[in-house]
Amino acid sequence: MRKSIFILTLVLWVSSLAGCNLQSKTTDNKTKTTVNSTETKANTASSSLDTTNITLYIDKNCETAWVQQCNPKVWEQQFGKLLWKNNKLNIVYTNTSIATSLKKIVPTTPVLSIPKDKVALFGQAASQITASGKLSNWVYYVSLYGWIAWEENLCNDGKDNNGNGLIDAKDPSCYKMTVLTSSKCKEQYCSDQAYKSMFMWYHVNVVDYDTPQGKKLYNELVKKNWSQTLPTFLMNKKHSYLNQMKQFVKEVDLDWEKYQINIPQFKYNPAIEACSTNCNASPACKKLLSCNKTDKPKVELFVMAYCPYGTQAEKWILGVSKLLKWKINFSVKFVDYDMHGKKSIDEDTLQHCIQKEEPTKYDTYLTCFLKAWKTQECRKEAKLNMNKENTCIKATDKKYNVIKDFNDKSTWVSWQFPRYEVNEDLNKKYGVQGSPTLVINWMKVQPQNRSPQAYLNIICSAFKTKPAECNKQVSNKGYDPMFGWTKSGKAAPAWSCGK
């Protein structure tokens, strides 16, 4: 795939050289008797391929999916600056015969085929084409994009999936997808081009939220306790592609669709406007913080103890917690896997036990720990009863298989990170993916930015009646990542520790 993208960039670059004087060179018969070392002898192209002209082979399915690289007009315009009148770029849509022949040479389309005696037309790019292209039957074939044509498809299981007598890429049930989006969303991720390029193997059916069908579908999904943000993607067969995105996939069991993908970065929420005036306007309103205010907000911050962005968020929220004191119910929880080794897991368990056994000492301990990672010193500073804590640590380890999971790599998330099951139920309930994740009144929320003031504002928005402390101004300057209570003045990055 990297090679295809490189060649695509290369060709576009060459086409911009309007001042270049390109000349055609014909390879003589003597040269043709010597076979180039890169030529594929065993897989020569069949007669269905044009071996005399510069030809662009495109899969019609790719073009109708609005993939720019499969638009023939794009290539005609690019090569119009390169090719003489007598060297017209031929556009050919692949059929089964052509696709079968191409598949023996290059796996994806569009494919640019260049007879060897016309490679010189590409000037400075000629050497790159001969080095990276696949030579077959005296023609170089260059893949310009990653579309898998015809018989090749990610759900290639050799089965007739919907009983219509067709198999795989010819079987519509193999690669149909519904996208629920909103025409009012002007973000780039809501554009047709964005998601049709992302899911280039699929035929896309777009459903607009602002239609009766769209609102009905949206409400069905919200009732199933899944994200209310758009765009969201629905598929009716579990492809290997879905396995690659399994952390974003949920089984929804609609009559006509089974799997849903929600990308966390796609955050358009169509219900907010209606819910701002009527919390009964939609089932989605019940999942908004503005419709779930309480007298004493429950605030949970999910972290990994040694995650630099988790510790940064803890520093912000500790100040807010000390300001609001008993008026909120604040606790630190832990992500259900850890990326920072056993020391981080041990720290997770210790902090879990401090909150359970000696909660009044937790703020003192955490404030100390965030300064320099010195667990032993902070135990003393907080005056922890280590008999209590060690008993809790042993019980927690036994109940949640902490050390057992760490030692058994077959249980690790993505075979990379040890599981940490202490708050696993809450991770699943809220859809926690990484550190830090903020949950208020059982809603996963995102502050406007990362600063103590932003954390205070979003927590105060969860009160039915805001206390006087919410009117105070705290620092807009966020603490730095990692450990230490420093403020460099730089904007806090929206990064996290996550898979």
How far apart, in whole angstroms, are the C-alpha atoms of residue 349 and residue 388?
13
pLDDT at 13 (0 to 100):
32
Q: Is residue 390 part of a domain?
A: yes
- State which amino acid sits at residue 401: N
Please tell me whether residues 132 and 255 are part of one structural domain: no
Six-digit token string for 127? 């050497």
CB atoms within 10 A of CB 366: 22
Tens digits of residue pLDDT in 347-366:
999 999 999 999 999 999 99
Tens digits of residue pLDDT in 265-292:
787 888 777 777 788 877 777 778 888 8
Q: How many CA atoms lie within 13 A of 159 on its CB side?
A: 8
Please tell me whether residues 249 and 301 are part of one structural domain: no
Q: Is residue 228 part of a domain?
A: yes
Please tell me whether residues 285 and 250 are part of one structural domain: yes
For residue 355, which of 388, 397, 312 has the smallest C-alpha distance? 388
Backbone angles phi, psi at 177, to 5 degrees: -145, 140
For the chain, the domain total comes to 3
Please tell me whether residues 126 and 196 are part of one structural domain: no
Tens digits of residue pLDDT in 164-199:
666 655 565 566 788 899 888 887 788 877 776 666
Boundary (domain end) residue, out of 291, 315, 334: 291
Q: Is residue 214 part of a domain?
A: yes
Please tell me whether residues 478 and 354 are part of one structural domain: yes
Please tell me whether residues 263 and 338 are part of one structural domain: no
Please tell me whether residues 129 and 196 are part of one structural domain: no
The domain that contains 343 carries what CATH number?
A: 3.40.30.10
Domain membership of residue 112 as a residue range = 2-148
What does pTM read for this prediction?
A: 0.53
Q: How many CA atoms lie within 13 A of 481 on its CB side?
A: 15
Q: Is 414 helix (H, G, I), strand (E, B) or coil?
A: coil
Please tell me whether residues 329 and 229 are part of one structural domain: no
pLDDT beyond 60 at 6: no
Boundary (domain end) residue, out of 257, 291, 325: 291
Please tell me whether residues 142 and 167 are part of one structural domain: no
pLDDT beyond 90 at 421: yes
Boundary (domain end) residue, out of 235, 258, 291: 291
Please tell me whether residues 228 and 181 are part of one structural domain: yes
